[in-house]
Structure 1
Amino acid sequence: MKQNFIKTLPVAIAALLVGGSVQAQDQAGAKSSQLTTWSIGVNAGVLTPLSPLGGKNDFSNSKSSLGYGLYIKNQITPYFSLRLDGVRGKLKGDNSENWKSGAPNTSAVNSFETNLEYSGSLNAVVNLFNISMFNANSAVQLYASAGAGLAGYKVKTSGTVDGPLVDYAGDKTISELIIPVGLGAKFKLTERMNLDLGWTVNFVDGDNLDGVYRGNNDKYNYGYAGLEFALGKGSKQLAWHNPVALTYEEALAAKQTANALKADNDKLRADMNDLLKDSDGDGVADKLDKCPGTPAGIVVDGAGCPLKVPVPVIQEKVIITEADRKVVEEAIKNLEFDLGKATIREKSYPTLNRVAALLVEKNFSLKLGGHTDNTGSMALNMRLSKERAESVKAYLVSQGANPSRIEAVGYGPNQPIATNKTAAGRQLNRRVEFTLY
């Protein structure tokens, strides 16, 4: 059993180290980087070679001796940790007192002194009573521990109470498996230091701790007080952290945030209702309505005022007779300009006068379209066609026609009615068209 434990102890220590690297990535969510998980502790106390948990004592007087210890701890969760403990000291006892209970020791050994060369154990520590729904960090903590380890010791015995001590097994160090079980209380002094009070009963897998063999495995107590120091850069210790309370606080904070958002939404809704309020129902909000109280059914403008509907204009139907068209056709046939200019020749005046009289009499509208052949540049032809149409308009206006009813447009050579390859064709293309409507 001892050999198996010795083989598995390095694996347990490796688990202690690996556990710290794993939980650092996962512990306490996003706040894990703010919480320390490693700590060391030093302690001193009293070692006694007996146990109040029962069993036979080999000596009537079990003396108390100084013990001291050191441990390193890795906090896996707020409630569970792995701790590697080491303890040293001495255990003493004799038969100087009368036996009060149990069967007396009948062996020839009447006193002993055991030097605890080393005592190393890996312990699982469970925090008790560390959950408060209203405190994210406690200040007092109870814990229980249990584990397994190895103790090495040298025993000296004597046949008398005050006689000289001699080696029980020569100069050999006896190694035995131990099972430590303990309770403790921890008090937070600062964010990085704790007061640690504890008591551990160590059950030895052997009956040679005091040099007396009675077929009953030995045990010894270690009651101690010490200080624990947090390691790492975190501002708080994970062992004091309470995720249940933190969740409660986050729920309260979320509820407060939700209530604040609801209040903001209610206020925004009230402001929107006030902004969009339309008392007279005309589709314009009161804040923008310059004419409040508009009767129902009245069409309003963007300011909420009654819309002024313009009086519809009744246009007379324009009727153009054949006689009217002949007057225009005669004017077109007789229309002549000076060569390359927009000057109207006098022979064209009589027929143009009749067109002007027609426009005045019947209130017709007239569109004048000037055209040229393709002789010359495009710019010149465009200008000339426009000027000739404007020249005809100016003459008609001078004869009393309404200028707003006459439109003059120049098309240049873009709308030919005959070929531009012959003189006769080019003559037909040089024209001003009259369109009545």
Structure 2
Amino acid sequence: MRSLLLILTLIAGLSLPGRTAAQAQASVEKYKFDIGAGLGMSGYLGDANESNLFANPGVGLNASFRYLINSRWALRGLLTAASLSGSTADMDNVLPEGKVYDFKSWIYDLGARAEFNFFNYGIGESYKQLSRISPYLSLGLGVAMSRSGDDSFVAMTLPMGFGVKFKLRPRVNLGLEFCMTKVFGDNADSRELKDLYQIKSSFIKNTDWYSTLMFSVSYEFGERCVTCHRID
């Protein structure tokens, strides 16, 4: 009798729909959105610093929101704040009349970027060959406002970034990114530093740049609806 019960139990267990390890991994929840924040250092290239990007390092902060299209692509909205500073006294070139200029300013940049992951970024779905770590590139457009003393200035920006993402947990990501941003204007440092060499600047020519090196943490949310196409 006991042997019969054991056999029936085994048959029932085998007949019930089970979940293999691969199916369990494939059922890991996926999310559509990602929100995060970053902290790091900033640098400046312009009239008061022509070569050494981090000669006068500042502080960089950001807050971001991503739409996760798939494991390779994402769209990211970003608000960045960075402190910039420089001095013409550190330059080899002598300015007209031997003048020396110093400045300190803050720049606030609101923009959108497209991100491309080199690998299928994610965790859990082994059949998709996901990787917990991936380098990535980003490119976008933004609008920045800088303030130096009582002066303010607004211009378009072109951010170009390279970074590495690491998925610490299924919904928690760490990132390290270097971004170089072209400012389409010559007043990101200060109005006093505009056209120091008496060469008139334009939308592209003789404009300022700023950079950020940021460490970030982000959290995914917004469960994605996925249809299961399992075939028994």
For residues 215-262 of structure 1, what are the alpha-carbon distances to aligned partners after superposition, in whole Å with 9 as ceiling and x for unaligned? 30110001100101111246xxx9xxxxxxxxxxx9xx99xx9xxxxx
Residue of structure 2 equivalent to 1:90? 83
Distance 2:104 2:158 in 1: 21
Aligned positions of 1:283-294 closer than 5 A = none
TM-score by structure 1 length?
A: 0.39
Gaps of 5+ in 1: 1-30, 51-55, 156-166, 239-249, 258-437
- Structure 2 residue 159 is matched with structure 1 residue 180: yes
2:30 is aligned with what amino acid?
Answer: L
Aligned positions of 1:267-416 closer than 5 A = none
2:39 is aligned with what amino acid?
Answer: A
Residue of structure 2 equivalent to 1:391? none
2:35 is aligned with what amino acid?
Answer: I
Deviation at 1:85, TM superposition (A): 0.4
Residue of structure 1 equivalent to 2:114? 124
Per the alignment, do residues 104 and 194 of structure 1 end up closer, same or farther by CA in structure 2, a change over 3 Å counting?
farther
Aligned residues: 186
- Structure 2 residue 111 is matched with structure 1 residue 111: no
Residue of structure 2 equivalent to 1:66? 59
**Alignment equivalent of 2:194, drawn from 213, 216, 241:** 213
- Structure 2 residue 214 is matched with structure 1 residue 224: yes
Per the alignment, do residues 75 and 148 of structure 1 end up closer, same or farther by CA in structure 2, a change over 3 Å counting?
same
Per the alignment, do residues 190 and 105 of structure 1 end up closer, same or farther by CA in structure 2, a change over 3 Å counting?
farther
Distance 1:98 1:210 in 2: 16
Q: Is the 8 A contact 1:58 1:105 kept in 2?
A: no
Residue of structure 1 equivalent to 2:131? 138
1:176 is aligned with what amino acid?
Answer: A
Q: Is the 8 A contact 1:144 1:184 kept in 2?
A: yes
Gaps of 5+ in 2: 1-25, 196-200
SS at match of 2:90: coil
Q: Is the 8 A contact 2:32 2:223 kept in 1?
A: no
Deviation at 1:59, TM superposition (A): 2.9
Distance 2:155 2:100 in 1: 21
Aligned positions of 1:124-203 closer than 5 A = 124-130=114-120, 136-155=129-148, 167=149, 171-203=150-182
- Structure 2 residue 91 is matched with structure 1 residue 78: no
For residues 126-164 of structure 1, what are the alpha-carbon distances to aligned partners after superposition, in whole Å with 9 as ceiling and x for unaligned? 111338x97632111111111111111112xxxxxxxxx
Distance 1:104 1:200 in 2: 30
SS at match of 2:69: strand
**Alignment equivalent of 1:34, drawn from 23, 26, 29:** 29
Per the alignment, do residues 33 and 57 of structure 1 end up closer, same or farther by CA in structure 2, a change over 3 Å counting?
same
SS at match of 1:63: coil
Q: Is the 8 A contact 1:130 1:142 kept in 2?
A: no
RMSD of aligned C-alpha atoms?
A: 3.1
2:142 is aligned with what amino acid?
Answer: G
Q: Is the 8 A contact 1:59 1:110 kept in 2?
A: no
Deviation at 1:193, TM superposition (A): 0.5
For residues 298-324 of structure 1, what are the alpha-carbon distances to aligned partners after superposition, in whole Å with 9 as ceiling and x for unaligned? xxxxxxxxxxxxxxxxxxxxxxxxxxx
Distance 1:140 1:146 in 2: 20
2:187 is aligned with what amino acid?
Answer: N
Distance 1:109 1:86 in 2: 33
SS at match of 1:49: strand
TM-score by structure 2 length?
A: 0.70
For residues 249-304 of structure 1, what are the alpha-carbon distances to aligned partners after superposition, in whole Å with 9 as ceiling and x for unaligned? x9xx99xx9xxxxxxxxxxxxxxxxxxxxxxxxxxxxxxxxxxxxxxxxxxxxxxx
Where relative contact order (Cα < 8 A, 6+ residues apart) is larger, the structure is 2
- Structure 2 residue 39 is matched with structure 1 residue 49: no
Larger radius of gyration: 1
Distance 1:33 1:188 in 2: 14
Higher fraction of helix: 1
Q: Is the 8 A contact 1:95 1:110 kept in 2?
A: yes
SS at match of 2:48: coil
Per the alignment, do residues 231 and 97 of structure 1 end up closer, same or farther by CA in structure 2, a change over 3 Å counting?
same
Distance 1:221 1:104 in 2: 25
Deviation at 1:58, TM superposition (A): 3.0
Distance 2:91 2:75 in 1: 42
Residue of structure 2 equivalent to 1:359? none
